[in-house]
Amino acid sequence: EDQVTQSPEALRLQEGESSSLNCSYTVSGLRGLFWYRQDPGKGPEFLFTLYSAGEEKEKERLKATLTKKESFLHITAPKPEDSATYLCAARSGSARQLTFGSGTQLTVLP
């Protein structure tokens, strides 16, 4: 059974304090690791897709990386507007659907 676990559940940072969010996955034959951002009261918004270990993608203050067992979302010098819940999801080779983690709620204080 595919499993995706995110940690920590919640993270509070001061503005400018860099950190990382973790996404551990157990899937058979990873076919894609997805990161989404979700603001309160809204639907998830796509950020990145990673396909193979060693791959990295960046967008503004966010950088996503992938190993054979984990993905990290690095946040460099965060701003209050980066506050949101960050979700990761994995697709296994045998499935057409995504398995989601429960998310990390990030709060960036000014």
Partner 1 sequence: NAGVTQTPKFQVLKTGQSMTLQCAQDMNHEYMSWYRQDPGMGLRLIHYSVGAGITDQGEVPNGYNVSRSTTEDFPLRLLSAAPSQTSVYFCASSYSGGETQYFGPGTRLLVL
- Smallest distance, partner 1 to C-beta of residue 98, A: 7
For 10, 21, 51, the CA distances from 92, given in Å and listed in that order, are: 27, 21, 11
By CB under 8 A, residue 32 contacts partner 1: yes
By CB under 8 A, residue 110 contacts partner 1: no
- Of 29-37, 55-63, 66-74, 75-83, the window that binds partner 1 (rule: CB under 8 A) is 29-37
Helix (H, G, I), strand (E, B) or coil at 51: coil
- Out of 31, 61, 63, 74, the only residue in the binding site for partner 1 (CB under 8 A) is 31
- Angle subtended at Cα 66 by Cα 75 and Cα 105, rounded to the nearest 5 degrees: 40
By CB under 8 A, residue 91 contacts partner 1: yes
**Residues in a beta bridge with 99:** 90
By CB under 8 A, residue 95 contacts partner 1: yes
- Of 10-18, 20-28, 39-47, 65-73, the window that binds partner 1 (rule: CB under 8 A) is 39-47
By CB under 8 A, residue 34 contacts partner 1: yes
Counting beta carbons within 10 angstroms of the beta carbon of residue 97, is it exposed (0 to 12), middle (13 to 18) or buried (19 or more)?
exposed
